Structure 1
Amino acid sequence: MARVLTAVLAAVAVSSAFPRTEAVLTAPNALDLRITTNMTSVIPSTLYGYMWEDINHSGDGGLYAELLQNRAFQGVLPGTQNALNAWQPYNGARLSVTDKTSGVTSALPNSLQVQFPKTVFGPIGFENTGYWGIKVQAGWTYNGSFYAKSDTLTGCITASLRSTTGTTFATATIKGISSEWQKFTFQFEPKTSAPDTNNVFHVEVNGPEAAGQTIYFGMFSLCPPTYLGRENGMRIDLAEALASTRPSVWRFPGGNNLEGESWAERWKWNETIGPIENRPGRVGDWGYPNTDGLGLLEYLNWAEDIGAEPILGIWSGTSIGNYSDLPTWPIVPEADLQPYIDDAINEIEFITADANSSEWGALRAKYGRVQPYQLRYIEVGNEDQFQPESYAGYRWKAFTSAIGERFPDLQFIATTYPSTALDPPYMKIDYHQYADLTWFENAAFMFDNYPRNGTQYFVGEYAVTSTNASDYLGTLDTGRLAYPSLAGAAAEAAFMTGMERNSDVVFASAYAPSLQHIRSYSWTPDLITYDAGGIVRSTSYYVQQMFSVNRGTHVLVTTPPSTNDTAPLYWVASHNNETNLVFLKVANTGPDDLVAYLHFDFNVTSLFGTAVQISSPVLSPLTGQFNITNTLEEPENIIPASSSFSIPYPDRYNYTFPATSVTILAFEAAGIGS
C-alpha cells in the first residue's frame, strides 16, 4: 500500500516574470489544497483513446491510404453526373458510369464506360483528381491496379501520375486488354516530388488507334506506402500522429455511421472483409459513399498496431432515418430481431474463434489472420437514448442475453441514459458530451460523487465544440469552433483531470471526432485536420497526447475533490509504480498566470523534474488570445514545449502555470509505490 503523500497547492495570480523554480513555504493569500496517497485507485489501461467512424472523410480520403476517390463507383446511381465524382475526361473522351455490362464482381456492378470519338488527334483518356489532390513524393513506391475490358481495343494503355499542368512524375504501360475483365497491376516510382498536391492519376491511349472504340474500367486502386507496410493499410502521417498519442482504446465503427440511414444501409461487417473487389461499399451517413476498403480486419489490425483495445460497436436494431425528426427512426420489431443478433454473434466469432474449430474462424484465417483477436468490450448500439423505450423494452436484453450466453467473458456497454432501467442492469455505459468551455470546466467534478456501486462510465465521445452554450451545434458565426482552440483544449483538460481522478468509475474515454479532411467535412472541430498533402495537430490533440503518454498507475486522491473552489486550476496527481514517477497534470483555464506551492512529506529523489506544456505564446492578456488555434496554414501556433527544472529542496517546490494552459510535471520520488 502506498504511504501518505501530502502536498499543499496555493494558487495566486502572478505575472509572467514570476520565477518558476523559487522554493517557498507559504503565500499570504494562498488557497490550501491537499494531495494524498492514503486512498488510491488504479488507473485503467483503457482510459484514453478515440472514437472512430467515417465522418469528414476520415476513412475514405483520410486514414485509409487509398488515393483515388470513387474508385469503384460504389453507392452511386449509374448514368448520372454525380456518379463521375472525381473523374474527368481528357482530350474529348466521353465518360459515363454504367451497369449495362457485367461488373468486375457481383459486389461491384458499376463500371466506367469510356467512349472515344471517331476522330481523335493525340492521346485521349481520363483522370482521377483523388481526394482533392494527390501527393507525389520522390522515393515512394505507389502500387496501382485497375480492371479493364474491351471488345475491340487491343493497344497499350498508359497510366501516370502527373500535375494538372501536364508535368509527368511517373508512368506505367499496360498491355493485353481483352474482352474479359482482367486485373492489371503497376507501380509508380517518382524521381522528383511534386511542389503541391495539384496532381492527378492519368490514363490515356493512342487517340487515332482508339478512335470510335469503347473500353470499360472497374475497381481502380492507387496506394502510397502505408503505416507499417500493411497491405490495404493506413496513410502514414495520419497513422503516426494518432499512434504517437499511445491511445489505449479504439471504439469503432461508429457512431451514427454504424446505424445507417435504414436497416439495409447499416454497417455490415461481413461486407467489409476479404478482397476489396468483393466489398460492395455502402451509402454512408455523412454525405458520401463508403468504400469499406477500411473494413473489420483493417480496423482490428490497426488497433493491434497501435496497442489499443478495440471497443466493438454492434448494430442494435435501429437506424438514424431522418436525423432531424428523431421519432421517425425505424426500429426492428422484437419478433424480427433474431437474424441481427445472429449476425452479431457471427461477427464476434469471426474475430475471436479458433481457426481450426470454427467456420467463421476459418474464414478469418482464409483472409490472412489465423490467430484470433483479443476482444473484451461490446457496445450495444449507439446513442440509444433517442429510442429508450425499445432499448429498455427488448433490444438491450435480446442482444446481451444471447451474446453473453455464447461469449460469457465479454463485457457489454449500454448506450442509453444512465437513468434508463435496463434488464439485465448495465455495468458499463457510454456517455457523450459536446458542449461549450464552461460546461467542461464545471464537469471536472461530475464524477467525484458518482456512486461506487460497480457501474462504470465510458466517455465515448466528447469535445469542446463552441464558445456559445446555447448553440454548441450551431454555425461558426454563432460560436461553433472551426478548429480546437487553446481555451477549449484547456477546458477539455480540466474535464480530463476529473476523469483520471475518478478512473475507478471512468474506465475509458474517447475523443471525437478524430479526423477531418478540410475539403469535405460536416463536423467541427476535430482532433487532426488535413488535406491531400499535409496535416495539422490541434491543441486538443496535444492535450490528448500529453495525458495519454504521461500515465501513472495509481491516482493520488486530491482533497477537497468535490468542489469548484479551486477554479480556474484543475489537476490530478498520480504515481507510476513501475517508474517511480509522480505526475501532476494541471489545467489553468483562467486569464492569469497562477503559482502553486507544493509541499511533500516524501523525498524527491532527482535533482531535476520535467515539464511539458501548451500555452499561448502571447505574454500579455489580449482579447481573443486564448482562442488561438492551429490551422493548415499556421500549424504550429500552439505546440508543446518541454523543459526541465531544478528541485532545490526534496520536500517542497512551486511552479507557475501560465494563463490558459495545460501542464504536466513529472519527477522521481521514493517510498510512494506499493
Structure 2
Amino acid sequence: MNLKLISCSFVFVTAMAVQAQHVMDVQTKKVGAEVSPTMYGLFFEDINYAADGGLYAELVKNRSFEFPNPFTGWDISGKVTLKNDGPFEKNPHYVRMAPSGHSDKHTMIENHGFFGMGIKAGEEYRFSVWARVPDGGKSKLWIDLVDNATMRDDQKLGNTSVEVSGKEWKKYTAIIKPNRTFAKAHLRVWGDSKVTTDVEHVSLFPVKTFKGRENGMREDLAQALADVHPGVFRFPGGCIVEGTDLATRYQWKNTVGPVENRPLNENRWHYTFTNRYFPDYFQTYGLGFFEFFQLCEDIKAEPLPVLSVGLSCQFQNRRESDHVAMDALQPYIDDCLDLIEFANGPVDSKWGKLRADMGHPEPFNMKYIGIGNEQWDTPYFERLKPFVTAVRAKYPNIKIVGTSGPDSEGKMFEKGWEAMKAQKADLVDEHFYRPENFFLGTADGKKRYGNCGALRYDSYDRKGPKVFAGEYACHGAGKKWNHYETSLYEAAFMTGIERNADIVEMATYAPLFAHVEGWQWRPDMIWYDNMRMFKSVSYYVQQMYAMYKGTNVLKLTTKDPADAKGKKQIPVAGQDGMDGLFASSVFDKTTGEVIIKIVNTSKKAQAVCVNLLDMKGERTAETITLQHKGSMDDENTLDQPLKIRPVDGTVQCGVTGKKQQTVLNDVVPAMSFRLYRIKK
C-alpha cells in the first residue's frame, strides 16, 4: 500500500502552544545494528472468525455436513437424509436428496453461510459439489443464490445448474454471476424431481480470490496483509495450537492433502467466552498449512509455524494427566520434523512429495519453527528439550522459537528466559496485552525502565536468545477497543523495539482479524463484515514501521535533563524532561534514506530540533503523520474506514554552523506519530 494518501502542508502552531524545544542528535555516519528483515510482521490465529468466515474465502458453512449437528448452517426440505459412507474417509457424511413423490413438493438444501454470504453484482462465483446418482443414470441439480430477507417478487440473485451422471462420485463445478449485490445471501441446491442424487462437499468461492487461487483467500483481507509489507507471518496461533485439551489441539497433518478429506476440528474459542458465545465455530482446515505457506510466499513474509509441545492449555488443564507423558512425546517430535520436511524437503521425500503433489515442488525455505505457545514452568521446559535435541540433530539451520509464557515480567517470566537460555533457543516469544502505563514505561505514576515501556529492551542480555514480541497490544483502561490513543502508545513503545534491533528480531501485533458479527476478543488489527473491511489505527502504526524499518539502526539521543553538566546522552523514550516524546532512527541502505520516527504522547505540540550529524546542506524531508484532532477514543469503522489514517507532507531541513550541518526543525502535533524520510 502506498501511504501517500493525502498531500498536505503542515502549519506551525504558535509558540504559546508549544513546549520548550527538544534537541536530538542522529549519528548518520556510523550505522548500528542491522534491522532484521523479519522485524515487523503478522500473527494469525483463528479467533473472531478469522479463518472460516474471514480470510478463507469459502462462503458455505459446514460444507461437508461434519459438524456435531450435521445440518448446522443448513435448512432442509423434502426428502433429505444423512449418510455416513461417503467417498472421503475423514469426512464420511453426505446427504441423499430423493424425489418427494409430488410435483409441488421440492427437495432442497439451503446454506446460510457465515452470517450470510456476501455477494457482489457482476462478480463470478464458483459453485462446486461432489455428487453421484446412486441408482445410475443422470440427474440435475439447480443452484440458486437467493435473498430471502426482502419483499421482492423473485428471491433469486443468480442461478446455475449441474448435470450429474453415474454411480461414481465426481466433482462438478459451475459459475454463478449474481445480478445484484447482497450481504446476507443464502445458497439453495434443488434436487432432481425424478432421480435420487447424493451430494457431498458443497462449496462456493468467489472466482476473484487473492492471486486467483481456487481454494484461496478473500481478496481484500489478504491484500491488506500484503500492504503491511510484513517480514514474518506466524501461524496458526495462539491458543488453538494447544487446544482446550489434547484432542482439540491443532494438528498440521490434518490440514494438508485434498481439501475434501481434511477432518473437522473443534475451535477452542467457540465456547471460551460465555459473554460472546458461538457454538457453531469450528475449523474445517480448508485454510491449512499448505495454504499458510503459500500465503507467506504471496505476501513475501517468512513463515513461522508454531506446533504443539505436548501440553494442552495450561490455564485450563492443571493435572499432569491432561498432558502428554514424557515417554509418549515421540509422535509430537515427529510432527515437528515432518513439518520441516514438508516445507523444505526434496520431492522424493515422503512429506516433500506431498507438498509437490499439492502443486508446489519447490521448497518453501522455512527458516523458523515455534515449539509450544505461551507455556511455562517445568512441564514446558522438560518437554521442549527433546524437541530441541531432535531439530538440532536433523536440521541445524532451523531457528527454534521458545516461549517465556503468558507474563511480561515477574518470577515465571524470568524463569522462562533462564530456561530458554539454558536450552539455547534462538528466539524467545514474549506476550503482553497490557494497559497504557506499560507501553509508556510508567506504573503507578512512576517511571520504570526495566521490564516495560520503550526502554524495556535496553537492558536485555545481548549474549542470549533474540526476542520475538509475538503477541502484544495496548488495552485501554476500561476501553478495550481499537481507539486512537492506545494505538499511539503502541507506536511509542515500538521506538524501543526499533532502537534495540540487535536483540529484537521480530514483533507481531495480535490478534489480527475480527468479524464485526463474530468477534470474541478485541482490540484487533483488521475488522470486516461479509462485504467490507476497515483497517484499525493500530494497523497503520504497524504499517508505518514495517514499510520504513530500514536496514540499520542509527543512534538517536538527547542530553540527559538530569545531567547538570550536559554531557550525558540518553535515548528519547518518554523519560522525565522529554515531555512525552519517543523517538528512534534507522538508515535504509536500499534507498539511501535516514528515517526518523517521533511520537508525541503529550497533549501539547512539541518543538523538536534534530541535528543530522555528518550530513550537510538543505534538504526536503518527506513526512507521514498519523494524527487525530477528535476524541482520543475515536476509531475507524466500516462506515468510516478512513476516519483516522496517515497523511503525507514535507518539512524543509535547514543548515547550521560553518560546516552547513543539516538540521531538521519541526513542531510535532499533540498526540501524534510523525515519520521523516531524508535522503542522505
Residue 249 of structure 2, aligned match among 266, 281, 295: 266
- Partner of residue 220 from structure 1, selected from 196, 202, 208: 202
Query: Which residue, 209, 218, 223 being the options, matches 1:240?
Result: 223
Residue pair 1:104, 1:147 contacting (<8 A) in 2 also = no
**Contact 2:133-2:164 at 8 Å conserved across structures:** no
SS at match of 1:310: strand
Give, in angstroms, the shift of residue 32 of structure 1.
Answer: 4.0
Distance 1:593 1:94, change over 3 A: farther
Amino acid at match of 1:174: V
SS, match of residue 603 in structure 1: strand
CA distance in 2, matches of 1:594, 1:535: 34
1:214-254 CA distance string (max 9 Å, x none): 65421111111111112311111001111011000001111
Partners of 1:464 and 1:135 lie apart in 2 by 32
Partner of 2:55 in structure 1? 63
Contact 2:618 2:654 in 1 (8 A): no
- Pairwise CA distance, 1:455: 2.2
SS of residue in 1 equivalent to 2:248: coil
In the alignment, structure 1 residue 594 sits paired with structure 2 residue 627: no
Structure 2 distance, partners of 1:513, 1:301, is 21
Quote the residue 1:502 is aligned against.
Answer: 500
Counterparts of 1:158 and 1:120, CA distance in 2: 16
- 1:471 aligns with none
Q: Helix, strand or coil for the counterpart of 1:419?
A: helix
1:642-668 deviations in Å (ceiling 9; x for gaps):
122333446222222222222111111
Which residue does the alignment assign to 1:419?
415
**Contact 2:653/2:665 (8 A) holds in 1:** no
Partner secondary structure for residue 675 of structure 2 = strand
Shift of 1:266: 1.9
Equivalent position to 2:286, from 281, 284, 293: 293
Please give the alpha-carbon distance, in whole angstroms, between the structure 2 residues aligned to 1:273 and 1:202: 29
Q: Which amino acid counterpart does residue 205 of structure 2 have in structure 1? A: C
The amino acid across from 1:18 in the alignment is F
With normalisation by structure 2, the TM-score equals 0.85
Q: Deviations over 1:439-464 (max 9, x none)?
A: 11111111111122142110000111
Alignment of 1:267-416 (within 5 A): 267-287=250-270, 288-320=281-313, 323-324=315-316, 326=318, 330-356=322-348, 358-385=349-376, 388-392=377-381, 394-416=382-404
Per-residue CA shift, 1:450-491, capped at 9, x if unaligned?
1221421100001112x22xxxxxxxxx4322xx11101101
CA distance in 2, matches of 1:431, 1:159: 49
Aligned counterparts of 2:212 and 2:11: Cα–Cα separation in 1:
49
Moved more, 533-542 or 30-39: 30-39
- Alignment-derived partner of residue 626 in structure 1: 632
CA deviations over 1:316-373 (Å, ceiling 9, x no partner):
011127x4565578221111111211121111111111113x2222222122111111
Q: Which residue of structure 1 lines up, in the alignment, with residue 142 of structure 2?
A: 158
8 Å contact kept, 2:221–2:533: yes
Deviation at 1:28, TM superposition (A): 9.0
2: CA distance between counterparts of 1:119 and 1:111? 24
- The yes-or-no answer on 1:197 pairing with 2:183 is yes
Counting only pairs closer than 5 Å after superposition, residues 84-99 of structure 1 correspond to structure 2 as 84-89=71-76, 92-93=77-78, 98=82
Q: RMSD of the alignment, in Å?
A: 2.5
Give the whole-Å Cα distance in 2 for the aligned partners of 1:497 and 1:310.
25
List aligned pairs for 1:606-625, cutoff 5 A.
Answer: 607-618=619-630, 625=631
Q: Structure 1: which 5+ residue stretches go unaligned? A: 1-15, 469-477, 619-624, 670-674
Cα deviation for residue 116 of structure 1 reads 6.0
State yes or no: 1:652 paired with 2:663.
yes
Q: Contact 1:318 / 1:332 at 8 angstroms: preserved in 2? A: yes
Of 162, 170, 176, 2:164 maps to 176
Tell whether the 8 Å contact from 1:160 to 1:170 is kept in structure 2 after alignment. yes
Which consecutive unaligned segments of at least 5 residues does structure 2 have? 1-9, 271-280, 405-412, 442-452, 558-569, 656-660
Q: Which residue of 1 aligns with 2:648?
A: 642
Q: Distance in 2 between matches of 1:324 and 1:312?
A: 23
Larger CA deviation: 533-542 vs 626-635: 626-635
Aligned to 1:461: 471
Structure 1, 284-293 or 242-251: larger mean CA deviation: 284-293
Q: Structure 1 CA distance, aligned partners of 2:51 and 2:579? A: 39
For 2:333, the aligned partner's letter is I
Percentage of identical aligned residues = 31
d(CA) in 2 for partners of 1:28, 1:269: 55
Whether contact under 8 Å (2:35, 2:552) holds in the other structure is yes
Is the Cα–Cα contact under 8 Å of residues 27 and 612 in structure 2 kept in the other structure? no
CA gap of 1:609–1:154, structure 2 versus 1, over 3 A, is same
- 2:437 match: secondary structure: helix
Separation in structure 2 between the aligned mates of residue 404 and residue 545 of structure 1, nearest angstrom: 34
* Paired residues, number: 611
TM-score by length of 1: 0.85
Specify whether residues 441 and 134 from structure 1 end up closer, same or farther in structure 2 by C-alpha distance, changes over 3 A only: same
